[in-house]
Structures are given as C-alpha cells and as structure tokens.
Structure 1
Amino acid sequence: MHVHLSLRDAETGEPVLFDAGRPGRLSELGGRFAAGILTHARAITAITAPSPVSFLRLTPHRWSAGGVFLAERNREALLRICPTGANEDAARQFNLEFRAADATANPWLVIGALVRAGLRGLTAGYAVPEVWPEECTEAELSGVPSLPGSLEEALDELDKDDVVRGWFDGDLLRTHVDVKRTELALVEGLEREEMCRRIADVY
C-alpha cells in the first residue's frame, strides 16, 4: 500500500514538485516537503504500518522500504521519486511515493500524518535531503537511517517525537497506542506464520 503525494500551487493550481534543473527533478520546495517526512519517518510508521506484522516487509531487498532516504525510482527508498512518461507533461505526472504504509492502517491518519510531516518540513525550514540514484549498492546505503524493526520500536519512536505527537488529539493518540500495545501482547511469542494468520483474521 504505497501513498503517492503531489503538491499544487493554491492560487494557480499548477504542480510545484517538478524542477528539471534540480537533482531528481525535484523542486526545492518538494525537497523540503520530503525532508519533513524523512525527519519524522521513524515515528510516523507507528501510524502508517501499525500492525505487529507490518515490519516483516519493511526490510531491505523486499521492494518496500529498505531505509529512510529519498531516491529517484529506487524501490528500496522510503520516499521514491516515480518515473514519468516520455510523451506527457512531466510536471503533472510528477509525484513522491511513500512506501511504508499498509492496509492495516487508517488511511485518513496516514494521509494526515504525511501531509503534516511534509508541511513541517516547509514551515520549519528543513534542509533538502540528498536524492539517491536509482541504482545503489548495499555498501553505499549502509549509512542511511533504518526504519524501526518492529511495531514496538515504532511506538517508542512515536513516544519520543513531540512534533508528531502534537499533530493528534491526546485521546486519539492514547487510544491508538493502547490498542497497538494490546495487539502486540496478544501475539507475543507466536511464530511469524501464526502471527500473520491471526492478523489476517482480524483485518
């Protein structure tokens, strides 16, 4: 379940992510928007990948999200700059793809968290991140930050990120965290196959 994001100018309606002269063809504004998502990614995954089995796929070599980085077409990137068709207006096709969401998440919370993170990158002046190329070796990517390795770790990251926590009503956030910690307790000690079966039965 990948989420595609694009931005338009509020007055003209024109797309604003595309800039042919910049790395990855991503505008400076788009880079700052991406920076907000990358900066808060470890906390956000507690919202976007919120089941005990979500993190089984969020590892390298699974074409999901092998690390917290921005890249051009690279399927290991948390944020991927998608390819555009050769014969169409590239600016209108241009988008960022967030690759660490799944169908156990509430789609409205996912969109809300991603938009708020991107806007934080714009308003707080986050630095534009490096755009990695499509082809990267494992050694080259060894230094990029990783996503949490489990839902428990993601919930801990959420607890530490006051910015992300501030986007949610306190009662909603406490309920989300309590439910997720209860789910973790209910599948504790199960093998992966049984854990996946239990979650599939619920969802």
Structure 2
Amino acid sequence: MVQGLDKSERARRRQAAASLVAAPPAVDLTAVALTWVDTSGITRTKAVPFKRLEEAAEWGVGMSPVFDAFLVDDSIVSGRYAGGPIGDLRLHPDLERLVPLAAMPGWAWAPAERFTQEGTEHSLDARWLLSREVARLAARDLQVLTAFEVEWAVSKGDGEDFVPACTGPAYGMTRIAELSDYLRDVMRALEGSRVSVVQIHPEYAAGQYELSVAHEDPVGAADTLVLVRETIRAVSFRYGLSASFSPKVLADSVGNGTHVHLSLWHRDSPEKRSNLMAGGDGPCGMTGQGEAFTAGILEHLPALLAVGAPSVASYMRLIPSHWAGAFACWGLENREAALRFVQGPLGRRDQAANLEVKCFDGAANPYLALAALLAAGHAGLEAGTVLPDPVNDVDPAMLDADEREARGIRALPASLEESVAAFEADAVLREAFGEAVIDTVAVVRRGEIALFAGATPERIAAAVRRRH
C-alpha cells in the first residue's frame, strides 16, 4: 500500500515506466487507458500515449475531483466534500497491473490511483480505501481472496431498445451456438489481457451470460472486474452488439448480479496459508475467525447495500424468489439467502470453501463495495460476532412474517432510500471510510433518487441500461 508520493517513490515509478517503454510487451502499443470507478459505478478514464508513460507514472495526469459527484446520467450533484469546478487531482497508473487490451489493438490499460497535487492519497479514492482495509487485515496475519461473477446481457445493435442477441432457452447450449464466435473472442481477449477465466455459461434472462474468473487479492479482483467488463464491452462493439451490466436491463425481467466470492485465510508462514472458511468446528466447518468475519458482513448488510446495490434500479432486481438474495440471512448453498455459503466438493473444501454475497450488482464500484465488505468483516472479527442459525432448508420468502422473525431473518432494504439511511447510521462504515466518503456516497445516492423520482420501472431500466 503506497503512503504518498515522495521524491523516491516518484523516481521508482518513473524507472518502472521507463523499463516498460524500453522493452514493451510483444504487441504494438500506442496508448494507455488509465481508469478509475466513480461513486455511481461508472468507469471513467484518461489516456496517454505509451511513449509518455514515464511522465504519467512520475507526475500523474490531471483530472478534476468533480467526478466523485457524478450521477449515472453524467449530471453533477454537490456535497460538502465533492462537486464543483474547483481543484485538481493526479491520476497515477499502477504499472504492476498494466496489460495490453487484446480487445482493443494498440491500447494498454492500467488502473489509476488518485493523488492530490501534494502527493497524498485522495480521501475519496476507492482503490486506496480498499488497500487500507486489506492492510488492516494483514496486520492480523489475515488475507482475503476474492473473485467476482460477471453477468451481462447482450443486445443487437446500438439503439436505445434492448433486443436480445440470442433467443435460446435459459442455460441452453443453443445460446452458445448462437453467439459462439462472439463468446470465443471474449475469452480470447481476456486471455490476451492476462485474465484467468474459470467458466462461462448462458444465464436465465434474455440475452444474458455469466463469466467467472480466478480469485485474487481484493484490489486485484476489483481491477480484474473493471478489465473484464471493458473487454466484454469492446468485443461486443466489434460484433455490432452492446453489453449491459445494469442491475435491471428490462423492467419485467431478472437483472444482472455481480456476486462477490470471499474467503478468509490465515498466513501461517510466508509460504503457507490456511482457509479459515473450512477445517473448523463452527457452522458448516468454519473456524471461529471465519464465522466472525461472515457474521460481521451479515450484521451490516443493510448498510452495505448502499455501495453494493447502489442504484434505484438495484431494488427492481433485489426482490424475493428471484435468486437475488433479498433477505439478510445466510445458508449452505441457499441461493435465496443474501449470503450463500459454498463448501465446495468433499476433498477440496480446504481450498474451495467461501462466502458468496448475492445481493450486490453491476452498478457497484467494486473497490468501494469490497472495502465495505472487508470493513464489516473486520468488525465481526474484532467483536467475535457469531452467526445465527443458517437458513438451509427453505426460500425465506416462503415463510410467513412471524416465522421469519422467530428465525432472525430480516428483509433487506427495499429501496435505495432505506439502504442510504442504514449506511449513514452505520458506525463501523463511518469509522472505516471517514466523513468525506460517507457524505459523498449519500449525496450521490440521493441525487439518483431525485433523478428517478416518479419514474416508471420501464423508464428507469431504459435510463441505466447503457450506463453500466
């Protein structure tokens, strides 16, 4: 984790960039796209010629801080800590993640870290916030491994209407056959950009697919999610298609989730680590620390939705009996629980056991969402929080209200207003993020609430369809 940009750190970055320019990858590179994700979950960018990478690495590229206050439609709100025309930041590429964009020949990509002109970390930079949460866990000899599942819907053409690019049945091989060249090129492009794809398959909704990648450290996983989405988008454009990662592409259909898989590991030695989600005597084989980490996330789920399900459209997706995880409960392989515990196959659980967060979606800033999850899990560790009984046997929606109450099953917020209120009231997230982040997230969320006030579900779905 970088602690500011002093003279030696700037020199180190310049030298690293000089080495890349002197011995570039085995492809012809013209430009490098530097990306960050704003509060509304939109990936923003500035680009530099590849030959100017040394200057960008040392001194950064100018960018207004106003983007922290952008809404999903590019309108701007103003809060105490973001918004307005004053100020400037510097985007510095993380050169360790720089890769050629196989889907965009001549281009490379690197995630950007945002610093002030004085060389200190920008307090609203979500990538830095996530790095800080990773470091807090590392101080306890703990590490989280993370991977995102990416769902997207493919539409024919670039018009405003959504026209499914495939018509075969849900999960059907027909959908692979219909777009086999496209899906092949998506996987080739990801491989060419050093992404390890685990699996790909047709999903439930019209024109919908899902792709899973290998787990990484949290910052790496968030970086990879950005790279995966932009690669899919670029390949789609080349086929005359458009890809939507929106939580609600069509008002009357299921939406796109972006499920998060997390496992907590202890660093036994520099060469060895052990999975705390398995091998213990706690629920479903968790260790005490694995249980406490999971329980912390469960306890703070209503507030976490303000960053994990951050759009008005998110709550059109987050409804019961749609496998979206609309209830704050956990269960072994229960896809209607907000937290699905995955043990993995017998004989591999020491490696495979993990927690899946099902209620998060494609409008989330992945860095901010993971930072919030880690902060909640860390709070559970500090408090030694224990889990309630799992919900393994039933869709919570099938229980009456009295039985849900008796079993400690809560409905998650049904609107963005409710989740923002929970977010602002959450002492753990306020301490982890600081007042500037809490205020800015709340201002942006309320800006979107006002933007879509009185709008029909159809209008909301159409408005966000091309944005995420």
Fold match (TM-score > 0.5): yes
Q: 1:192 aligns with which of 451, 457, 465?
A: 457
2:436 is aligned with what amino acid?
D
For the structure 1 residues 136 and 171, does the alpha-carbon distance in structure 2 shift closer, same or farther, using more than 3 Å as the test? closer
For the structure 1 residues 136 and 188, does the alpha-carbon distance in structure 2 shift closer, same or farther, using more than 3 Å as the test? closer
Q: Which residue of 1 aligns with 2:167?
A: none
1:10 Cα deviation (Å)? 1.8
Q: Which residue of 2 aligns with 1:180?
A: 445
What's the CA shift string for 1:99-140, capped at 9, x where partnerless? Answer: 111111100011111111111101112123222214456227
Q: Which residue of 1 aligns with 2:354?
A: 95
Q: Please give the secondary structure, in 2, of the residue aligned with 1:81.
A: strand
Q: Which residue of 2 aligns with 1:10?
A: 267
The residue correspondences of 1:61-140 to structure 2 (distance < 5 A) are 61-86=321-346, 88-136=347-395, 138-139=398-399
Larger mean CA deviation between 167-176 and 46-55 belongs to 167-176
Larger mean CA deviation between 163-172 and 192-201 belongs to 163-172
Matched residues in 2 for 1:166 and 1:15: separation?
Answer: 28
1:126 is aligned with what amino acid?
T
Larger mean CA deviation between 169-178 and 73-82 belongs to 169-178
1:56 Cα deviation (Å)? 1.4
Q: Please give the secondary structure, in 1, of the residue aligned with 2:330.
A: strand
1:6–1:15 CA contact under 8 A, matched in 2: yes
Matched residues in 2 for 1:142 and 1:52: separation?
Answer: 26
1:28–1:128 CA contact under 8 A, matched in 2: no
2:295 is aligned with what amino acid?
A
In the alignment, is residue 38 of structure 1 matched against residue 298 of structure 2? yes
Q: Please give the secondary structure, in 2, of the residue aligned with 1:108.
A: helix
Matched residues in 2 for 1:44 and 1:98: separation?
Answer: 11
Structure 2, gaps ≥5 residues long: 1-257
The residue correspondences of 1:162-173 to structure 2 (distance < 5 A) are 162-173=427-438
1:62 is aligned with what amino acid?
H
1:2–1:99 CA contact under 8 A, matched in 2: yes
Matched residues in 2 for 1:109 and 1:134: separation?
Answer: 33
For the structure 1 residues 21 and 125, does the alpha-carbon distance in structure 2 shift closer, same or farther, using more than 3 Å as the test? closer
Q: Which residue of 1 aligns with 2:111?
A: none
Larger mean CA deviation between 7-16 and 91-100 belongs to 7-16
Q: Please give the secondary structure, in 2, of the residue aligned with 1:9.
A: strand
Matched residues in 1 for 2:315 and 2:337: separation?
Answer: 15
Matched residues in 1 for 2:284 and 2:385: separation?
Answer: 18
Structure (1/2) with the larger helix percentage:
1
1:73–1:80 CA contact under 8 A, matched in 2: yes
Matched residues in 1 for 2:377 and 2:386: separation?
Answer: 12
2:275–2:351 CA contact under 8 A, matched in 1: yes
Q: Please give the secondary structure, in 1, of the residue aligned with 2:273.
A: coil
Matched residues in 2 for 1:195 and 1:40: separation?
Answer: 27
1:189 is aligned with what amino acid?
G
Q: Please give the secondary structure, in 1, of the residue aligned with 2:297.
A: helix
Matched residues in 1 for 2:455 and 2:261: separation?
Answer: 34
Q: Which residue of 2 aligns with 1:53?
A: 313
Q: Show structure 1 runs of 4+ deviating over 6 A.
A: none
Q: Which has the larger radius of gyration?
A: 2
2:329–2:337 CA contact under 8 A, matched in 1: yes
What's the CA shift string for 1:32-91, capped at 9, x where partnerless? Answer: 1111011111111101110011011212101011310110000111111124124x4211
Matched residues in 2 for 1:16 and 1:26: separation?
Answer: 6
Matched residues in 2 for 1:75 and 1:128: separation?
Answer: 18
Calculate the TM-score normalised by the size of structure 1.
Answer: 0.92
Matched residues in 2 for 1:97 and 1:157: separation?
Answer: 22
1:29–1:122 CA contact under 8 A, matched in 2: yes
Q: Which residue of 2 aligns with 1:150?
A: 415
Q: Please give the secondary structure, in 1, of the residue aligned with 2:410.
A: coil
Q: Which residue of 1 aligns with 2:217?
A: none
Matched residues in 2 for 1:193 and 1:120: separation?
Answer: 39
Larger mean CA deviation between 72-81 and 129-138 belongs to 129-138
1:32 is aligned with what amino acid?
A
Larger mean CA deviation between 66-75 and 17-26 belongs to 17-26
Cα RMSD over matched residues? 1.8
1:98 Cα deviation (Å)? 0.7
Matched residues in 2 for 1:199 and 1:65: separation?
Answer: 21
1:193 is aligned with what amino acid?
E
Q: 1:29 aligns with which of 271, 274, 289?
A: 289
1:154 Cα deviation (Å)? 0.4
Matched residues in 2 for 1:134 and 1:15: separation?
Answer: 26
